[in-house]
Amino acid sequence: MKILVLGVGNILLTDEGIGIHAVNALLQDYSIPDGVEVVDGGTSGMELLTFIAQAAHLIILDAVKSGQEPSTIIRLDGDEVPAFFRTKISPHQVGISDVLAAAHLINEQPDNITLFGVEPASMALSMELSEKVAPQVVRLIKLVVKELDKLGYQLIPKVFSGTVGDKYHFLKKLYF
């Protein structure tokens, strides 16, 4: 079984990029086992069809406007995911909805889909996550690690050097 962990979002719009920040931090901090692929999907649309069509289980990390308090993490599974994206519009969500529909049309959809979404606090023009949402990167990673463990895939933490790359400076507060 192949698992795809897909981060989507726009890193130019503050919290809209949390899915991208999360997958990049996951790749930086963990050794990814065979059978698991972690992809920075950015704002891509149909370009993701090849990745999604090859996955037995798709885990999406994204910013989602669900009406919850900012920084709230929601989880959706199975048919809840495409239904959610049909009613929530943002530049990349339209693309994900289209890709999931295309995968279904060619009978190449994943057997299982899980979405971990974070309610954004800000969508202002900035490449930094807001202070309220930034700590959720670590929570998202923990949720993905736990989900993969349930599926029989163990992610091994890389040796932590005591420094976090400049791109992930917001994690320094969480580690120290």
Q: Give the pLDDT of residue 147.
A: 98
DSSP 126: B
Q: Give the pLDDT of residue 167.
A: 52
Q: How far is CA 50 from the centre of its chain?
A: 17
Q: Give the pLDDT of residue 175.
A: 44
Q: Give the pLDDT of residue 19.
A: 95
pLDDT (tens digit, 0 to 9) for every residue of the chain, 176 residues total? Answer: 699 999 999 999 999 999 999 999 999 999 999 999 999 988 887 888 889 999 999 999 999 888 899 999 999 998 888 666 655 545 445 567 778 878 888 988 899 999 999 999 999 999 999 999 999 999 999 999 999 999 999 999 997 655 555 555 545 444 43
Q: Give the pLDDT of residue 89.
A: 46
pTM of this prediction? 0.84
CATH architecture entry for 3-175 = 3-Layer(aba) Sandwich (3.40)
Question: Taking the domains of the chain in order of start, what are their residue ranges?
Answer: 3-175
Q: Give the pLDDT of residue 47.
A: 83
DSSP output for 7-72: EE--TTBGGGGHHHHHHHHHHHHEEPPTTEEEEEEET--GGGHHHHHT-SEEEEEEE---SS-TT-
Q: Give the pLDDT of residue 100.
A: 80
Burial of 98 (0-12, 13-18, 19+ CB in 10 A): middle
